Amino acid sequence: MKYLIKIALIMFPICVFSQDTETNYTLYSKILSERLELGKEVKDSVVIVDQFVNFFNIDDFSVFSSKSKAVSEIDLQTLYIQTYKDTIFLKRLYKETELQKIISDFAANIKQDLKILPEKLQNPNLIVYPITAKKFNLFFGKRRTPKSWEKLSRKYGSNKFIEFSKITYSENFAVIYYADRCGGLCGSGNIVVFEKVNGLWKILTEINLVMS
């Protein structure tokens, strides 16, 4: 009995941060079509970096000012801007501990990387070009210049380069970070919060962390 309890405790964190492959790619695809509006009505192309590499501090992904999982008034004021004045989400975040916890857990585990398989993305109007994270970064060397972006765009036929983090799941919520890069002074980094409603995943809100 004690052995089974130990196994359950070991497996619990894995369950929190994993989900079946189909669900993962459903959520990635929703970001491409619903947030970035790629392949929504016409044919589009995009380059997917196969593995998200975190160059930032873990604290940069935290939306809470304190180490606790609770949201403060200062956090709400900042998030009001970062969520594009999404007051409905902010009211829920202030009240719902499950929502607070998954966002906090996500920030603490952003360093966990995974490899994306672009062919599994679900969008018939979207042509996906894969590039490895290593190859993507080699294009720039030590400095990212406009010429580097021009070379990438010519080679892959697209100026949209997207990276996805690993997804953090709870019972009803999922959280993802994605980076949208399109040039030296063009791009953004965002956290997307999903909610499962009547068995279907829907985007609850987007939190902008970086904009250039």
Q: Evaluate if residue 158 carries a pLDDT over 90.
A: no
What pLDDT does 163 receive? Answer: 92
Q: Evaluate if residue 8 carries a pLDDT over 60.
A: no
Q: Where are the domains of the chain?
A: 2-211
CA 84 – CA 206 distance, rounded (Å): 8
Q: What is the pTM of this model?
A: 0.86
What pLDDT does 109 receive? Answer: 82
Q: Which residues fall within 8 angstroms of residue 107, CB to CB, at 6 or more apart? A: 58, 59, 61, 62, 63, 64
Q: Among 198, 45, 16, which residue's Cα sits nearest to residue 121?
A: 45
Q: Which residues fall within 8 angstroms of residue 93, CB to CB, at 6 or more apart? A: 71, 76, 79, 99, 100, 103
Average pLDDT, stretch 133-150? 78
pLDDT band of residue 68 (cuts 50, 70, 90) is low
What pLDDT does 169 receive? Answer: 94
What pLDDT does 33 receive? Answer: 94
Longest dimension (CA), the chain: 62
Q: Evaluate if residue 13 carries a pLDDT over 70.
A: no
Q: Evaluate if residue 11 carries a pLDDT over 80.
A: no
SS3 call for 61? helix
**Percent share of the chain, pLDDT over 90:** 49
Q: Evaluate if residue 32 carries a pLDDT over 90.
A: yes
Per-residue pLDDT tens digits for 110-127: 776 678 888 888 888 999
* Length in residues, the chain: 212
Q: Evaluate if residue 4 carries a pLDDT over 50.
A: no
Average pLDDT value for the chain: 84
Q: Evaluate if residue 190 carries a pLDDT over 90.
A: yes
Average pLDDT, stretch 158-172? 91
